[in-house]
Structure 1
Amino acid sequence: MENSRGTRLQQSKGRRLVLFPLPLKGHLNPMLELANILHSKGFSITIIHTHFNAPNSDDYPHFTFHPISDGLSEGEASTGDILHLLLLLTVNCVEPFRDCLARLLSNVSEEPVACLVADAIWHFSRLVADSLKLPTIVLRTSSASSFLVFGAFPLLREKGYLPIQDSRLEEPLQEFPPLRIKDIPAINTCELEAFYQLVAAMVNESKASSGIIWNSFEDLEQSALATIHQDFHIPIFPIGPFHKYSPTSTTLSIQDHSSIAWLDTQAPNSVVYVSFGSIAGLDETDFIEMAWGLANSKQPFLWVVRPGFIRGSEWLEPLPSGFLETIGGRGHIVKWAPQHEVLAHPAVGAFCTHSGWNSTLESISEGVPMICLPCFSDQKVNARYVSQVWRVGVQLENGLKRGEIEGAIRRLMVEKSGQEIRDRCISLKEKANLCLKQGGSSYQALEDLISYISSFFFHLHAPEKGRLLIFPDHGFMVSLRSFSITIIHTHFNSPNPANYPLFTFHSIPDGLSKTEASTADVIALLSLLNINCVAPFRDCLSQLLSNPSEEPIACLITDAVWHFTQAVANSLKLPRMVLRTSSVSSFLAVAAMPYLQKSGYLPIKVIARLPDDKRDAIIEMGFGGLLHLACRELRYELCSWIISNYDTAYHQLNMATGVVVLVTTQDVGNIMGIPCSGEEIVVHTRRGTSNRTYTISLLEQNLENLAIGDDFRKTFLIFACATLLAPNSKLEGIHDLWDTIWDGDVGVQKNWSKFVLHYIEDGIREYQKNQPTYIRGCRIFLQEKMHVYRLQMVVTLLLNEANNVRGNIIQACGL
């Protein structure tokens, strides 16, 4: 045995995974089970965990453990408010986690780390890992079916399903049959917005991760898994049931093994096992109803009543006098039990459960029918699927009443319908066993997961002498001793490969017309190249990285003018170096341009040259804000991030922290300083060729030369749209819009803010769907909206801190 273990550990040398479990038992246990699975496949395992609910490292001598501070007070750690606890943890653990992960990655004496595996609730972990150039795979400990409902929360809110209203509980949830409104995951809290934001963060960060691991299997949730795979566009790995890989228990509670000895004395399929997990609780009235329901069923029962399970009581104090004597040896009550062993015991014939996902999957895997009493969150979805989709149990929906409990037990244990449910349970149990065997879906998903993680390892830890990727501007070429060189280049001014026989060349389209390629306007040319080459470059680089027959790539070297390449390289986890072909002195002058803008030296444009009377006319039109707009420079990476995270259906920006930032017409008016009320702007389509000539230079000349009047005002509107409010990829602008402005009445107030918002959202929608090389619309507005949000967050934090200080002073003074 020792030789076998030693061989396995030797195989693991050089491949390490960092796992970051959420410290709730329903999340921590499956993460530790996953750790055992991955360790059995040759990986070294490092666990980062909080002090709260810390696992016992003595139970896992083959893992390395690193505790981090969770910042919880004694009162916070013992709170029954799960949402409040999670919000505290996801704030308090960010810095300790970052510091710990950074230390692990910088420790050269340890094996290199291939990736991070984090619980989906730790929504900040991916951003931390990304900043350290480490891929993140998410573990989702709920069912795939409930995850789809969580992901649809924005839609459910828009349609009025959320917040849940008592008068609509029984209405069907049309988007997710056979769920009803009352089956939507919910938590008993007065901080609904905080709950929605936490869910959004969990879903969004799962989507943005490098992959998702599910404790489920294809035959159980094929439809939900297929939908997730289609919608998320990232690898998913349904490798469950986790607990069937190894008999090792991962529970954090002290188990009472007397329950197994007691079960050994009972008849097959005769015992009702009752357990409500590690969080759910009952009040005294429900507890007594449950007790009499079990007693009146006349069936033997094993009941887990953990300390604190009955609200307001230590343990069994509320039991009716004489109850234990009444049931005699027919009932066995313990504080905790080894659930895997209990459900696998032949004496157990039914499981009365809170419908947590771990318990549901374990019961299905052992072929035990369920009586479902869901309490909160995804348990409601699980219970509905157990009773209505898989039909391997019944659900009690009218509260805890002894008669209904007794009836449900008799239905499963005595009546004919119970045998039909049991038969379906046995069928699913067989499928759960088969999926783990060679050729099974979970077996293959695990093999795919191991290969996927191994690919991270080789990409992240390229050999010293490997391959370099060069993406030059025209006229730039290098030769480096000991490295293989691959050149990505445009068709325009392409190098001659015959002159460089030692290099490999890959040509990408640049989208330039003959006229554009021969232009003397260098700035226009560079702008077009930086727009047109993004998608071709990304595709080419991805193909090179995924080619297993080539040497691994150490890094990318690009000309500094290719400003988009950093974002592309980051998305593919590839380091990037820049070649600057100018002098250091001129580079300093370029770097000072933001300061020169702020100081008023730049830009030297027509608006700055307009006399006061024309500027006053623009202010009277309601466009005075454009004269003083602070931002005149687009930050490419920020805009790309905003557009990637913008939800056009709900007019909102989904922040990485889970916060949802709504974007309104009023925001456009406030930020851009343009009208946000009046008639809607309708752009008329031309039937023929416009007889008017529009160019930016001509518009600038007219603004300077025209007298103040309608022609001047119309010219300004066209100029503002072409350069700022509604730009598109064509240098001559949008003739339909310009003609609409010229043919309209400038004396009638128009809702320009609404038009600007719709136009940029149309551009984002088109970009997200078709990935064109240019995103039309007012991106400066989105950039400034982000800055305003950040400022609001700073102000809020300062006000909260001020209130905290005020409260401490009042408390200290006894006021």
Structure 2
Amino acid sequence: MSQLVDTHVAVLTFPHGTHAAPLLAIIDRLASASPKTLFSFFGTAQSNNSIFSTSQPTPPNVKAYSVDDGVPEGYVFVGKPQEDIELFMEVAPQNLRKAMEVAVEESGRKVSCLVADAFFWFAKQIAVENGVPWVSFWTAGACSLSSHVYTDLIREKFGVGGIVGREDETLNFIPGMSKVRIRDLPEGIVLGNLESFFSRMLHRMGQVLPEATAVFLNSCEELDPDRTTDLKSKFKQYLNVGPFILATPPPSVPDPYGCLTWLDKQKPTTVVYISFGSVVTPPPNELVALAEAVEASQVPFIWSLRDKSRVHLPNGFLERANGMVVPWAPQRDVLAHGAVGVFITHGGWNSLVESIAGGVPMIFRPFFGDHGVNGRMVEDVWEIGVIVESGVLTKNGIMRSLDLILAQEKGKKMRENLKEVVALAQISVGANGSSTKNFKKLLDLVCSQNHA
């Protein structure tokens, strides 16, 4: 690859949920591989402060720039769903353009490539204005990506007038999605309010993404071979460059509550790890049901639960139960520990990948977005976990799922399946693996002089 000293990559991050951190992880890797390239990383101050303050050192050629969060001074939130996202997105195009101008002026380097979160469908126009490639990062897996790319076809097939009675019909007309049911799809495709700001944004994204110079994601081709073949035909370049956690294992993070020390005292594959990520918390009645299930099952557990939610736990639960409830846990390290036997999760892509890397079967309680399709892949395609009965946490449902995974032959089979998946993923990030080759293509595309 030929590099110029003045190559300058603008990185546009979506600052909500857990989108920004995985994009920073791949940008750090690209920056280390191309030290003469400048990467200007644009996010809100809150998002940047959160991800740049971790123990992961950032290469010196990555510079963070803050953009406004779109919330007017004195604004009072009215509690509308995704209100903060809508405020940000309404002004994001002009705010990101202004921030890019600042970075160009400060560095003296014109932008040579635009890397953007896939949610930013308007990045296409910004790239055209600057005469540079538009490289899009999809933060989830291939199945949810296909859902959005095929939205128009799915609507044509099922209509948009409601799907009552058809929830379990499958998407067998889309390659690699024959097991996925309508009920599993992200809202905004045929479920929910199709005219909401967020639904319209994702619909537009699915329509525009095939025009990107390339689309890349944190997965490997071997995990989704049929969908990989299909999406390669849909995009100019479709690059699986993960799993990041295996390609460049992150350093261990602090363990302020002693989770790992406690795990060292437990028997192999016996511990239940519970976490629903940083965005969602189950409703109080489901928290009670989950607490009653782990207590009645007498399983050792670590539960990562925000302090404000502890009030919903049954009286005396913390004293009686065989485990620990902590406000935060070093999830990657916990899932990599041999004592952990099952992960109860919301089913976000980052958590799913970390559980696969740790070889831990999953119990999914899906909430929104890609959780449903991820759960279907885990249960029916890869067979490395289950979706909770009826999609909600109940005492008996959780107890049955725990028994299935921790005590029955099916759980043993899941762990064997996980070993096979991990082995494929390890090969993909090896010296001659598909993800390694795709990363080199991405590096050449993003940091090459050809378009500088």
TM-score, scaled to structure 2: 0.89
- Structure 1 partner of 2:43: 49
Deviation (angstroms), 1:195: 3.8
1:53 counterpart SS class: helix
263 and 82 in structure 1: CA distance in 2 versus 1, 3 angstrom threshold: farther
- Structure 2 partner of 1:368: 360
State the alpha-carbon separation in 1 of the partners of residues 221 and 74 from structure 2.
42
- Structure 1 partner of 2:182: 181
- Residues 1:443 and 2:436 are matched in the alignment: yes
83 and 291 in structure 1: CA distance in 2 versus 1, 3 angstrom threshold: same
State the alpha-carbon separation in 1 of the partners of residues 289 and 215 from structure 2.
41
- Structure 1 partner of 2:315: 321
40 and 163 in structure 1: CA distance in 2 versus 1, 3 angstrom threshold: farther
Alignment check: 8 A CA contact 1:15 1:111 kept: yes
Q: Which amino acid aligns with 2:354?
A: E
Q: Which amino acid aligns with 1:24?
A: H
% identical equivalent positions? 29
Deviations 1:31-89 (A, max 9, x none): 11112211221243321111343334454553311101122158979787554333322
92 and 281 in structure 1: CA distance in 2 versus 1, 3 angstrom threshold: same
Alignment check: 8 A CA contact 2:293 2:399 kept: yes
- Residues 1:169 and 2:167 are matched in the alignment: yes
Pick one of 336, 342, 345 that aligns with 1:353. 345
Alignment check: 8 A CA contact 2:117 2:137 kept: yes
- Structure 1 partner of 2:209: 206
Q: Which amino acid aligns with 1:65?
A: A
- Structure 2 partner of 1:334: 326
RMSD of equivalent CA atoms? 2.5
Alignment check: 8 A CA contact 2:135 2:214 kept: yes
- Structure 1 partner of 2:26: 34
Pick one of 217, 225, 230 that aligns with 2:228. 225
Q: 338-347 or 40-49: which moved more?
A: 40-49
- Structure 1 partner of 2:405: 412
Q: Which amino acid aligns with 2:444?
A: S
- Structure 2 partner of 1:295: 295
Alignment check: 8 A CA contact 1:52 1:77 kept: no
261 and 186 in structure 1: CA distance in 2 versus 1, 3 angstrom threshold: same
2:158 counterpart SS class: coil
Pick one of 417, 425, 431 that aligns with 1:432. 425
Deviations 1:327-351 (A, max 9, x none): 1xx2111112121111111111111
Alignment check: 8 A CA contact 2:257 2:326 kept: no
Pick one of 378, 402, 421 that aligns with 1:386. 378
Alignment check: 8 A CA contact 2:263 2:339 kept: yes
State the alpha-carbon separation in 2 of the partners of residues 88 and 281 from structure 1.
23
Alignment check: 8 A CA contact 1:303 1:334 kept: yes
140 and 226 in structure 1: CA distance in 2 versus 1, 3 angstrom threshold: same
State the alpha-carbon separation in 2 of the partners of residues 270 and 78 from structure 1.
44
1:458 counterpart SS class: coil
State the alpha-carbon separation in 1 of the partners of residues 443 and 7 from structure 2.
11
Deviations 1:742-786 (A, max 9, x none): xxxxxxxxxxxxxxxxxxxxxxxxxxxxxxxxxxxxxxxxxxxxx
- Structure 2 partner of 1:677: none
Deviations 1:782-811 (A, max 9, x none): xxxxxxxxxxxxxxxxxxxxxxxxxxxxxx
State the alpha-carbon separation in 2 of the partners of residues 216 and 92 from structure 1.
31
Correspondences of 1:236-635 after superposition (within 5 Å): 236-248=238-250, 256-307=256-307, 314-327=308-321, 330-398=322-390, 399-455=392-448, 457-460=449-452
Deviations 1:367-398 (A, max 9, x none): 11111111111110000000000111111132
Deviation (angstroms), 1:145: 1.4
Q: Which amino acid aligns with 2:330?
A: P
Correspondences of 1:59-138 after superposition (within 5 Å): 59=54, 60-61=57-58, 62=60, 63-73=62-72, 83-107=82-106, 109-111=107-109, 113-138=111-136
State the alpha-carbon separation in 1 of the partners of residues 338 and 78 from structure 2.
38
- Structure 2 partner of 1:21: 13
Q: Which amino acid aligns with 1:445?
A: N
Alignment check: 8 A CA contact 2:194 2:200 kept: no
Higher relative contact order (CA 8 A, sep 6+): 2
State the alpha-carbon separation in 1 of the partners of residues 292 and 209 from structure 2.
44
- Structure 2 partner of 1:216: 219
1:93 counterpart SS class: helix
State the alpha-carbon separation in 2 of the partners of residues 77 and 39 from structure 1.
40
374 and 110 in structure 1: CA distance in 2 versus 1, 3 angstrom threshold: same
Greater Cα radius of gyration, structure 1 or 2: 1
Deviations 1:140-184 (A, max 9, x none): 011111111112222222233545434322233342311122111
State the alpha-carbon separation in 2 of the partners of residues 435 and 79 from structure 1.
47
State the alpha-carbon separation in 1 of the partners of residues 81 and 211 from structure 2.
25
Aligned residue-pair number: 437
1:48 counterpart SS class: strand
Deviation (angstroms), 1:213: 1.0
TM-score, scaled to structure 1: 0.51
Alignment check: 8 A CA contact 1:79 1:85 kept: no
Unaligned stretches of 5+ residues in structure 2: none
Deviation (angstroms), 1:192: 3.7
Q: Which amino acid aligns with 1:426?
A: K
State the alpha-carbon separation in 2 of the partners of residues 81 and 18 from structure 1.
32
